[in-house]
Each structure stands twice: as C-alpha cells, then as structure tokens.
Amino acid sequence: MRAENTLQFMADFYPSIFPTRKHCLNFLFCGVGNGYEWVKGELVDEDGKFEKRYRLIKPVKKAEFDRERDWWVRYRLELEMHEETGKRINPDYFFEWSQPSREYSYIYHFPKNIRPDWKALLEECRQMLKEDGVEI
C-alpha cells in the first residue's frame, strides 16, 4: 500500500490512537513490534488483512487527519495547565517519541529497494525527530 494511503488508513480507522501524522510516523518507524514489515519496499501489515479489505477509491496525495489541529491545540493547553498548576496531563493529549532502537526500529532498518514514497515518509520522520531534539 502506498505510504500516504497507509497513514490515511491509520487516521480513518484508529483516530484516537493516531490523531496526528506524528503519532503514525512514531508508530511505524520508531517503535518495535508494531505488526508491520518491509515487503517489496513498502511497510505492510504482517498478516496483510488490511490490504485485502481496505482500498481507497482514489489514492491520497497526503493523508488527512481530521482532528489533528484540534489535538495540537488541546495538547498545548494541557502542557500549559501542567506547567502552571502541576495538574497531570490528560493521557489522551500526551505525545512523546518512542526511543528508536538501533537494532530493530525501521527508522534505521529499511530495505535498499525502499519505494520513494516510503523513503520520503521515513525522511519526514527523521526531520521531525531532529526538530524535537531526539537524537538519531
């Protein structure tokens, strides 16, 4: 499945787990044991069930996250309240990058035949990590 289509699938079917693009990239490239594997240059669900059942009518240029803007507004509000009052941040509005494993994370381990759209997504993730001060 094309990279952006995969992100769109994640956004459409699991919006509470993947409310933002950053959440998806973290899951796909930084964590380990996420249920995806490289096949013919693309990250695909290991058992392939989603690819068999889910087809977009038309491929997307860039995945849309309907709640992303609202999520980031609430995230900033939660951080401000925490800093001002010490109140615990609502876990629904907390984001922290997974520490990529040099042994297993796909941010480090990808095939030589990686498809260009997946390579672009991986580079986008690297840039986000760098901007957020995560050493890779």
Phi and psi at 42, nearest 5°, equal: -125, 150
The pLDDT score that the predictor gives to residue 62 is: 96
pLDDT, one tens digit per residue, over 12-69 is 989 999 999 999 999 999 999 999 999 999 999 888 777 778 778 888 999 999 999 9
- What are the angstrom distances between the C-alpha of 50 and each of 10, 34, 87, 132? 10, 14, 39, 31
With beta carbons less than 8 A apart as the criterion, state whether 136 and 100 touch.
yes
Helix 116-131 to helix 3-13 angle (10° resolution) is 60
Q: How is residue 57 annotated by DSSP?
A: S
pLDDT, one tens digit per residue, over 54-83 is 778 888 999 999 999 999 999 999 999 999
DSSP string, 72-98: HHHHHHHHHHHHHH-PPPPGGG-----
pLDDT, one tens digit per residue, over 105-121 is 999 999 999 999 999 99
The pLDDT score that the predictor gives to residue 17 is: 94
The pLDDT score that the predictor gives to residue 54 is: 79
The pTM (predicted TM-score) of the whole model is 0.91
